[in-house]
Structure formats: C-alpha cells, structure tokens
Amino acid sequence: MRPGKAAGIFVAATLGAGAWHVLFNAAPPAFDDAWYLEVSFRLFNSLKHGLPAFASEYASAFRIKAPLLSVLPLPLYAVFGMGERLPIWTNLAALGAACACVFGAARALWSEHPRRDAIAALAAALTAVIPLIYGLSRIFFVEPVLTALVAGSVWAVAAKTDRRAGLRLGVLFGLGLLAKILFPLYLAGPLWLRRKELRPHMKSALFVAIPLAATWYAFNLPYIMGFAWSAGFGRIAADYAGPAQSFAGRPLAYASLLLGGALSWPLAAAMAAVVAGRRDRLDDGTRLALAWAAPLAVFAFGVNQEIRYAAPALPALALLAARAAMSFEAQRMRAAAATLLLATGALVFARQTFLLPAAEALPWCGAPSFDGGWDRGALVDAAAANGGTVAALALEHPRLNANNLSSLAAARGLDLKFISLGYAQTSAEMALIRLKDKDANRLILVSGVEPEKLPAFLNRANEGVAGAVASGRLPARLLSRVALGAGITAAVYDLRR
C-alpha cells in the first residue's frame, strides 16, 4: 500500500473517532467557545436582514478577536439550522485539512528526498494524533482553523513558486490574519528562510492579503492591538501565567506543559527517541521545519503560557519526527521508528478519546460527557420574559456563564444578551457601575454552587452585588426562581431605574 493511502486511512480513522466524540458529547460550551458561537449565530441572524446588516454585524464582531471562525459555519446553519454542536464540525474538517496540508508541506520541504512520500505520510498521521490538536478540534476554538491555515501557508512557502504564488500566499495570509492576530508569528521563520525565492511574489501577496484582512481590521485594529498586548504582557497575561513567575523559570515550566500536556509524555518520549537516533545531517527542509517550530521558544519565555497557542506550531514537530524516522538506512529501522511513533500516538489517542473523563485527561481532551449541564434553557426563558434584553449574571462557571447563555439566546434568535460583572472583576462598586453602563434590566444571582468549583479570579464581585440587592442599595424586584440542577437555583431580578 502506498504511504499516502495508508496515511489517509489512518487520518480518516482518527477523524471518525472525532466525529463520534462530537456526536455524543453533551457538555455545554464554556467561555471563549461560547463567545465564538454567539457571534456566529448573530452573524447568521443578521443575514436575514440583508447584506448591509451582515456587513455591519461582521465589522463590529468581537472587536478584540478576529472573526473568521464564527463566519465559517454559516453555510451549515443554512442547511441544518442553528445549534451549539453543529459549528464544531468545521473544526473537525479543519483538522483533516491540516493533516492534508502537512502532507503537502512535507513533500515540498523534501522534494528531492527518495523517501519524501513516506516522510509526508508519517508526518500527516502524527499530526492527527497530537493530543492538543485533536482535543481542540472537538471544541469551537480558533486553533484548528489557524493550524490548517498555518500548515497550508508553510506548504505554499516551501513549494516551488509559479505565477500564482502571490495569489495563493495572499489569500492564505489574509485568512490567517482573520483567524488570529498571532498568525504572522507562526510564519515569520519560514518566510525569512525563503525570502529570496518569495520576494518577487510578495507585492502581489500583500495586494490580496491586506484588503482581505482589512474587511475587519479596518474597524477594529486599535481594539485588537490593545487586547493582544494585554493578553501577551499585561493583566490578562497574568491570569494565564504558568507556575514559574521568574523569566528564567518560565521555559522549564512551559516545556513541562508542552511535553506533558500538548504532546503527552509517551508521545514526546517517542519523538525524542527517534530524533535522537537521526542518521543524517540537517537539510533545508529540516531547517524550515525548525523555523516553523520557533514560536514555541517565544511562548516559553512569555508571561501568558496558555498552551492553546502552541497548536499551530506542533505539526512542525511531527515533520521533524517523521524526517528523523526516515533517515535510517535500514528499512527495518525505519519501520520500527514509524511503528513506535504511530503506536504510541494511537494508544494515547484512544485513551484520551474513549476512556478518560475530561477532568482526568490532557488539556481539551477526554471522553465525551453525556451530562448536558444545568438547565440553561429555562434560565434564558426566564430572563427573556417580560421584556428582558440585557441580563447580568453574577456567576462565571464552565457550565453556566454569560457567554454560554448568550450563545443559547442567539441560537434561539432572541434579542437578549447576557453580560458578566466584568472580566475578573474585583470590585462590587465597579460591577454596579457596569450594570448601569450596559443598561442591564435583569440580574441573575445563583446559589448552591460549591465555592471550590468556581474559578476564583472570575467570581470575586458576586457576593458584593448580592449584598447590594439584599440591602436595597441596588433596587431590584424578584421576578422568578429557576431550578438549574440538583441544589442549584437562579434568582432572576428586574432592575428598576
């Protein structure tokens, strides 16, 4: 069997397991994924009012996050209707596209190598069993789409240029920026290594990429730049800092997260063993793959050590491992190296997909949950009753928060938005000001949640706001109480002016 066909079967099997996971997982969206869902539903709803309404909604989407992910599922809604599980299929497709692009990139990187097809097949198959990559593909996050676009761009950068090279690069660069503002970081190294070959095509690439990206950035550049700075070096970055606070200690802490969380220790050890046994010198393809992996070193020294950012660089590690495995002269050694990599990856994949609950699994992995969470639908109905339009929720919990209530309201086509008391809000005073600034006419207080199960840094103002209602300082009239789950109750208040 040809290597490419074997890799196709292997990748298809992993995608089939991912599809099973998506079909049976009942867990509600949490925070960022719910926000992407909400915006996606509102974009689709705006289409019902014509293209100008859609353009307006698109131009103002997120402000601090690029919107491509929320746009991609719109055709699915037109065929199947809106639902919170449906958009995840776009990410599963993105994983398949990423594997295909890794295959193409490997063939371009080692175009003269006698075993280039074997390298490409093994790299594509390894990409499919990297835990962080397949884990994120089952959640509505931007990283699967970003990974596919980065892999496609590396393929385009490494391939022999022709008269359409500028157009291909321009489309990929523009879409990449619309996926995430960090996109250029992942391509900086490969572009630098190929700068001489690509220089004649860069003008036409920018001629396409800039107008495409400007469809959103022209309206939101100051907002997203401010957010990117805060997420990388400021207040938000501090909330996602790793265990090591010193500059010197960060790389070691990040390496532990990368090897133990993003790759898993067994797969990382297998990759390290194969790479350590490499039997030839570094070549141009290997250097470009190393340049693709270079952002991992940048993240290692950063304040924000959120491991999701590593995902678009991880296929480079699959390329390096595959190239090392095919460097042995003896066919039996090549087969042993490939078997070690794929068997280790497949065993970890099976464990992280079918066996371990999410609480015990690697980041974003775990078997599907059959628990649909608390009764968000009843709470949305209660908040919308009697003219509710903006509801403030004094709780931030993965099962229940302003984001996943807003996504459900948007999926139902309701003119109702939910807001939090403010990101990581520390002051009840500022939370009360936010209620006024956002014109909130509903307030929801939730009781019965065990404090140790709450993200502490997101729930510091809840008690102060509840105290303001109890004392009468915040005028509020109880409208209803909603049973959300076992021992969990939400009180919905009308905020009088």
DSSP secondary structure letters along 121-158: HHHHHHHHT-HHHHHHTTTT-SHHHHHHHHHHHHHHHH
Place of tokens 């594997």: 99
**Residues 470-474: what's their mean pLDDT?**
92
Report the pLDDT value the prediction gives residue 77, as an integer from 0 to 100.
97
**Residues 308-333: what's their mean pLDDT?**
96
Report the pLDDT value the prediction gives residue 268, as an integer from 0 to 100.
98
Place of tokens 């036409």: 204
**Residues 289-318: what's their mean pLDDT?**
95
Give the neighbor-by-neighbor strand order of the sheet with 417-419: 417-419, 390-393, 442-447, 488-495, 476-485
Q: How confident is the model at residue 457 (pLDDT cuts 50, 70, 90)?
A: confident
Sign of the alpha-carbon dihedral angle for 434, 440, 446, 450: negative
Q: Nearest Cα to 130, choosing from 381, 293, 346, 331?
A: 346
Per DSSP, 171 falls in state H
Q: How confident is the model at residue 1 (pLDDT cuts 50, 70, 90)?
A: confident
Q: How confident is the model at residue 244 (pLDDT cuts 50, 70, 90)?
A: low
Please, are residues 369 and 357 in contact by the beta-carbon 8 Å criterion? yes
Please, are residues 311 and 92 in contact by the beta-carbon 8 Å criterion? no
| Dist CA 189 CA 447 (whole Å) | 51
Report the pLDDT value the prediction gives residue 408, as an integer from 0 to 100.
96
Report the pLDDT value the prediction gives residue 227, as an integer from 0 to 100.
87
Is the pTM higher than 0.85?
yes
Which residues make Cβ contacts (< 8 Å) with residue 8, sequence separation at least 6?
none
- pLDDT score of 40 more than 80: yes
| Dist CA 235 CA 238 (whole Å) | 5
Report the pLDDT value the prediction gives residue 467, as an integer from 0 to 100.
94
Report the pLDDT value the prediction gives residue 424, as an integer from 0 to 100.
83
Return the number of other C-beta atoms located less than 10 Å from residue 444's C-beta. 24
User: 110-125 b/e with 16+ CB inside 10 Å = b?
Assistant: beebebbbbbbbbbbb
- pLDDT score of 405 more than 80: yes
Return the number of other C-beta atoms located less than 10 Å from residue 451's C-beta. 7
Name the average pLDDT for the chain: 94
- pLDDT score of 304 more than 90: no
Q: Nearest Cα to 326, choosing from 105, 117, 484?
A: 117
Looking at the chain, the number of H-run helices and the number of E-run strands are: 23, 5
For 150-154, 238-242, 274-278, 356-360, which range has the lowest pLDDT when averaged over its residues?
A: 238-242
Which residues make Cβ contacts (< 8 Å) with residue 422, sequence separation at least 6?
430, 431, 434, 461
pLDDT in tens, 323-368: 999 999 999 999 999 999 999 999 999 999 999 999 999 999 999 9
Report the pLDDT value the prediction gives residue 454, as an integer from 0 to 100.
85
Report the pLDDT value the prediction gives residue 400, as an integer from 0 to 100.
94
Q: What tokens appear for 212 in the block?
A: 């495409």
Kindly give the interhelix angle for 88-109 and 143-158, rounded to the nearest 10 degrees: 20
- pLDDT score of 237 more than 90: no
What region does 447 belong to: left with phi over 0, alpha with psi -120 to 50, or beta?
beta
Report the pLDDT value the prediction gives residue 280, as an integer from 0 to 100.
83
Q: What tokens appear for 111 in the block?
A: 């175009």
Please, are residues 286 and 235 in contact by the beta-carbon 8 Å criterion? no
Q: How confident is the model at residue 231 (pLDDT cuts 50, 70, 90)?
A: confident
Determine what percent of the chain is predicted with pLDDT higher than 70.
98
Place of tokens 């090279």: 165
Q: What tokens appear for 262 in the block?
A: 């993003």
Q: How confident is the model at residue 229 (pLDDT cuts 50, 70, 90)?
A: confident
Report the pLDDT value the prediction gives residue 328, as an integer from 0 to 100.
94
Q: How confident is the model at residue 242 (pLDDT cuts 50, 70, 90)?
A: low
- pLDDT score of 161 more than 80: yes
Q: How confident is the model at residue 241 (pLDDT cuts 50, 70, 90)?
A: low
Distances (CA, A) of 346 to 28, 172, 339, 383: 27, 31, 10, 46
Return the number of other C-beta atoms located less than 10 Å from residue 472's C-beta. 8
Report the pLDDT value the prediction gives residue 279, as an integer from 0 to 100.
81
Report the pLDDT value the prediction gives residue 309, as an integer from 0 to 100.
96
The maximal CA–CA distance of the chain, rounded, in angstroms, is 80
Q: Which residue type, as a one-letter code, is found at position 105?
A: A
**Residues 73-100: what's their mean pLDDT?**
97
